[in-house]
Amino acid sequence: MRNLLYWRLLLLAGICTVFISCSKDDDPEEENPEENWPSDSIRVVKTGLQFPWEILWGKDDHIWMTERGGKVSKVDPRTGETVFSTSIPGVVSRGEGGLLGMVQDPGFMQNGFLYLVHNYLEGDAYREKLVRYRFANNALVEELILLDEIPAANVHNGSRLVIVEGNPSVLYMTTGDAANTALPQQSGSLAGKVLRFLLDGSVPGDNPVAGNYYWSMGHRNPQGLVWAKNRLYASEHGPNIEDEINSIEKGVNYGWPSVNGPCDPAEQAFCDANQVREPIWSSGSSTFAACGMDYYDHDRIPGWKNSLLMTSLKNSRLYVHALNGDGSSIAGTTTHFLNSWGRLRDVCVSPGGRVYLCSSNGNNQDVLVEISSLE
C-alpha cells in the first residue's frame, strides 16, 4: 500500500513539473525576441556596406540584406554581426543594376525558399531574372530560374518583391522601363510593369491577360513595394518631376511615359482614353528619388502608426506618409533624418516596431541603422 502511495505521489509530482515547464515555455516574456536589446533610441547597427539594396526582417528574426555587387547577408540586429554571407553567381552590376530585390517564402522556416532578382548578361545583352534559392546548411542552394530575359539597362530596373499570402499565395515584382519608354505601354513586354506570379513561377489564372505575367502597366522605375491594409502600394521615380506613390490594382494603366503624376490638361486625353489611375501622392515639380517602402502600424513610435515609410535617395531623408482610415489616400507627410546618413535606399520594420534603414552612398561607407524611438 505504501509503495502504491509512493508511486502515485511521484507521478503527481512529475505531472506538476510538466505543467510548470509548459507554463514557463508559453510565457511571452520568455519568448520575446526583443528582450535584452540595446537601449539606444537610434544606433548604427552595421558599417562598411557597399550599396545595400534590399533589407527585410526575416522570419528567423534576423535582417536579410542584398548588396548590389552580388552579396546576400544575414545580420544579427542586436549586435550587427554577419552570421551568414554569400555571393550569387552570375550577377552583373552595371550602373544601378546588380543584385536587387529579395523576399522570403511564407514557409521559409520550413522550406528555406528565398526569391531574388538580379541582372546578368545574355551574350552582350543586359538582362534581369527572378530566381529562387533554398537556404539550407548555411548556404544558398538549388537555384531555380522562375523568369528570365526581362529587359534591363544601367538604369530603371525596378525590382522590388512582395509576397501576399493567401490561397494561393502570389508574388509581385516591379520592373522599370529599362531606359526604353516605349515598353511600359506594351502589354506584351515585361518592362515598366508590376508582374504577378504564383510561387512556383507560373502565371496565375486570374491575371489580366491569360498567360501574361503583367498585373499593372505604365511604370517608369518603381523601387518601393509593400502590401498593407489589403492594398499593394508602389513608389516610383519620376523623370525630373512627379515621384509617385500608387495604389496598384489589377490591369490598371499608370500612364508612363505619357503621364507624369496626376493628369494635367495636356495629359487628360491620354488619361481618359486609357483609364489612367492617378497616384495617391506625388512630389510635384521636383523629384526626391522615392525608393524602398514599408508599412508601420506599431505603438513603439506612436506618431508613425498607420503610415507608409519611404526612403529617398536624392533628398536623403525618410518620408512618413500617414494613411487615411481605409488606406485609399495619404492624409499627411512628415520627414525625418535629413542628411543623417546620406542617400537612403530601403527600410524595414521589425515585429516589435523597430525601424531599419540602409544608405546608398558607395565607397564601402554605407550603414544599417536602427530607430527604436524618436525621444
CA gap 77, 199 in Å, rounded: 28
Residue 231, SS3?
A: strand
Chain mean pLDDT for the chain: 92
DSSP string over 118-149: EEEEETTEEEEEEEEEEEETTEEEEEEEEEEE
Interval 149-193: pLDDT, tens? 999 999 999 999 999 999 999 999 999 999 999 999 999 999 999
Domain boundaries, the chain: 49-371
pTM above 0.85? yes
DSSP string over 102-115: EEE-TTHHHH-EEE
And the C-alpha cell for 40?
A: 539606444
Class of domain 49-371: mainly beta
Contact 361, 46 (CB under 8 A): no
Radius of gyration of the chain (CA): 23
Contact 261, 244 (CB under 8 A): yes
CA gap 227, 214 in Å, rounded: 17
And the C-alpha cell for 254?
A: 499608370
Residue 34 or 358, more confident: 358
Contact 177, 184 (CB under 8 A): yes
Provide the pLDDT confidence category of residue 34 given band limits of 50, 70 and 90. low
DSSP assignment letter at 203: P
Interval 129-145: pLDDT, tens? 999 999 999 999 999 99
CA distances from 9 to 6, 67, 113, 243 (A): 5, 61, 49, 73
Contact 66, 53 (CB under 8 A): yes
Residue type at 84?
F
Given a cut of 70, whether residue 199 has pLDDT beyond it is: yes
